């Protein structure tokens, strides 16, 4: 992730910035005398290269990118033995994934930029711009800034990336080692980016359809004037040209677009659209593209139920998220870090597509089965944690605890003060009955043991 200044000793560890990397001048574009440019639009934002009807292609890209960016990515530590989540690591990489990736992009905008570049170019290059140390010398570095670049050329062990330079305001090309750049390939490349893919075919059809629409709406009259004489000689052709020019001038200069014609001339209008099957082909390719991408129509309409959204997430969004996290994990985390359980994972909000009734049912099941604590459930649905001691414990509130079921030790030894008088009266009655029975048995000469 870095190149040291040539004036510093190679054994010294200094902050790394890829923008200071020396490049061949023919791959750079330094702006103006001051070296900077000003723009009306954000120059770091990725621009779509697809042509044709933007309302279809760009709408698909944008919806997919929004859904990908809505899933949170974290730098975590997993249990080495079980592989389960253990804790979130407070690192510069985690800050880039959750708060701010660079001076121009927040975490969500950064994730959306990755997805848009992935869909448009087929490959997204996530580059480390700033880090605490140079990875070419030491793997003990912490990432401070990340940016998304476009791959311009491939080499055996290097890649040339078009990257935004925040110092100059230009996009410059940098040749970087592949092991320092997260090269993320689109899992849907065969459908979206291949030259014979369905999306490319749809793009070409949309371009042709737009060209036909522009031609139909260009304002041309498309008329034929039938003159009352045969146009076979050069003189007659010149007369026809003069007649046509005269009518054009009349229509152009007239306030209401009115022109006159001779009684023997016949005018035929041709500006009615010719019938073709272009629109039917576009509709067929659009449906085929949605099917191949695993995007139901209800997802774009906003009418998809929980099962439809789950299927859409598993078939389309999950492979893209996995490709992004795996690409960054294997390039930004060393073997030692991965052996210690460090990883980059994405976590989808399980309550996002659930109604309030469903959330209450699931929360009750998780609480009764001691899967989640009350505070974990409250945090998941947007409530502040409770200060009660049991809110951080895995307890079933519907069952009595061991403390509630225990009987105090002095409860059995000490009689209840409220019932002591009644107990003495009953005891006296029992004693009187025993004495009477003993007298009767003695008179009868019957001896009782005990």
- For residue 40, which phi and psi values (nearest 5 degrees)? -80, -30
- For residue 146, which phi and psi values (nearest 5 degrees)? -125, 145
Task: Dig out the tokens for 14 from the structure.
Answer: 């200094």
Q: What pLDDT does 273 receive?
A: 54
Residue linked to tokens 């029975």: 437
Name the least confident of 69-73, 88-92, 263-267, 317-321: 263-267
Residue 295 is inside which H or E element, if any?
none
**Where would I find the H helices in 29-89?**
54-69
Distance separating alpha carbons of residues 65 and 84, to the nearest angstrom = 28
Residue linked to tokens 């997204």: 124
pLDDT confidence tier of residue 217, bands split at 50, 70 and 90: low
Distance separating alpha carbons of residues 38 and 117, to the nearest angstrom = 24
Q: Residues 279-305: what's their mean pLDDT?
A: 86
Name the least confident of 51-65, 155-169, 285-299: 51-65
Distance separating alpha carbons of residues 150 and 2, to the nearest angstrom = 19
**Where would I find the H helices in 27-87?**
54-69
pLDDT confidence tier of residue 209, bands split at 50, 70 and 90: confident
Contacts of 32 (CB under 8 A, 6+ apart): none
- For residue 203, which phi and psi values (nearest 5 degrees)? -65, -45
Residues 171 and 178: beta-carbon distance below 8 Å: no
Whether the predicted pLDDT of 154 surpasses 90: yes
Distance separating alpha carbons of residues 207 and 202, to the nearest angstrom = 9
pLDDT confidence tier of residue 124, bands split at 50, 70 and 90: very high
Residues 365 and 358: beta-carbon distance below 8 Å: no
Residues 157 and 177: beta-carbon distance below 8 Å: yes
Neighbours of 340 (CB within 10 A): 13
User: What are the distances in angstroms from CA 406 to CA 107, 391, 395, 414, 415?
Assistant: 52, 22, 17, 16, 18
Name the least confident of 353-367, 377-391, 419-433: 419-433
In terms of DSSP bridges, do strands 170-177 and 158-165 run parallel, antiparallel, or are they unpaired?
A: antiparallel
Q: Which residues of 155-180 are buried (b: 16+ CB within 10 A; e: fewer)?
A: eeebbbbbbbbbebbbebbbebeeeb
User: What are the distances in angstroms from CA 170 to CA 39, 130, 154, 180?
Assistant: 10, 17, 22, 22
Name the least confident of 106-115, 124-133, 225-234: 225-234
Task: Dig out the tokens for 410 from the structure.
Answer: 């002095």
377: DSSP letter:
H
User: What are the distances in angstroms from CA 40 to CA 54, 68, 102, 110?
Assistant: 22, 28, 20, 21
- For residue 343, which phi and psi values (nearest 5 degrees)? -160, 165
Question: Alpha carbon 245 to chain centroid distance?
Answer: 60
Residue linked to tokens 């998941």: 380
Task: Dig out the tokens for 396 from the structure.
Answer: 């079933």
Residue linked to tokens 């994934």: 97
Q: What pLDDT does 24 receive?
A: 47
- For residue 402, which phi and psi values (nearest 5 degrees)? -65, -30
User: What are the distances in angstroms from CA 17 to CA 100, 150, 163?
Assistant: 17, 18, 13
Residues 239 and 262: beta-carbon distance below 8 Å: no
DSSP codes, 432-450: HHHHHHHHHHHHTT-----
Highest average pLDDT, of 92-106, 257-271, 289-303, comes from: 92-106
Whether the predicted pLDDT of 406 surpasses 50: yes
Q: Is 353 helix (H, G, I), strand (E, B) or coil?
A: coil
């Amino acid at each position: 992730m870095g190149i040291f200044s040539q004036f510093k000793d190679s054994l010294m560890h200094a902050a790394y910035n890829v923008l200071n990397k020396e490049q061949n001048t023919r791959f750079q574009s330094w702006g103006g005398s001051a070296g900077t440019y000003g723009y009306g639009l954000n120059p770091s934002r990725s621009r779509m290269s697809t042509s044709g009807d933007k309302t279809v292609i760009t709408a698909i890209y944008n919806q997919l990118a929004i859904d990908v960016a809505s899933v949170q990515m974290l730098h975590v530590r997993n249990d080495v033995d079980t592989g389960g989540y253990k804790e979130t690591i407070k690192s510069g990489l985690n800050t880039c994934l959750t708060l701010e990736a660079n001076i121009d992009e927040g975490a969500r905008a950064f994730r959306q930029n990755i997805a848009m570049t992935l869909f448009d170019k087929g490959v997204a290059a996530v580059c480390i711009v700033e880090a605490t140390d140079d990875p070419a010398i030491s793997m003990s570095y912490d990432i401070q800034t990340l940016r998304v670049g476009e791959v311009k050329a491939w080499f055996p062990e290097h890649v040339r990336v078009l990257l935004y330079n925040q110092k100059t305001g230009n996009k410059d090309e940098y040749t970087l080692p592949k092991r320092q750049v997260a090269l993320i390939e689109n899992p849907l490349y065969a459908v979206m980016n291949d030259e014979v893919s369905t999306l490319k075919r749809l793009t070409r059809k949309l371009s042709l359809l737009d060209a036909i629409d522009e031609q139909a709406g260009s304002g041309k009259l498309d008329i034929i004037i039938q003159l009352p004489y045969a146009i076979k000689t050069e003189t007659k052709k010149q007369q026809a040209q003069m007649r046509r020019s005269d009518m054009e001038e009349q229509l152009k200069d007239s306030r209401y677009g009115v022109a006159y014609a001779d009684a023997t001339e016949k005018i035929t209008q041709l500006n009615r659209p010719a019938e073709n099957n272009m629109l039917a082909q576009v509709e067929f390719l659009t449906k085929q593209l949605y099917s191949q991408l695993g995007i139901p129509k209800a997802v774009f309409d906003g009418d998809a139920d929980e099962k439809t959204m789950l299927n859409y997430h598993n078939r389309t969004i999950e492979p893209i998220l996995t490709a992004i996290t795996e690409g960054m994990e294997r390039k930004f985390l060393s073997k030692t870090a991965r052996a210690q359980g460090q990883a980059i994972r994405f976590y989808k909000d399980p309550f996002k597509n659930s109604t309030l009734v469903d959330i209450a049912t699931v929360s009750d099941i998780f609480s009764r089965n001691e899967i989640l604590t009350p505070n974990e459930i409250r945090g998941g649905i947007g409530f502040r944690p409770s200060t009660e001691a049991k809110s951080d414990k895995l307890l079933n509130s519907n069952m009595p605890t061991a403390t509630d079921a225990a009987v105090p030790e002095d409860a059995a030894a000490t009689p209840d003060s409220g019932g002591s008088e009644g107990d003495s009266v009953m005891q006296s009655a029992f004693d009187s009955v025993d004495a009477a029975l003993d007298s009767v048995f003695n008179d009868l000469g019957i001896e009782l043991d005990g």
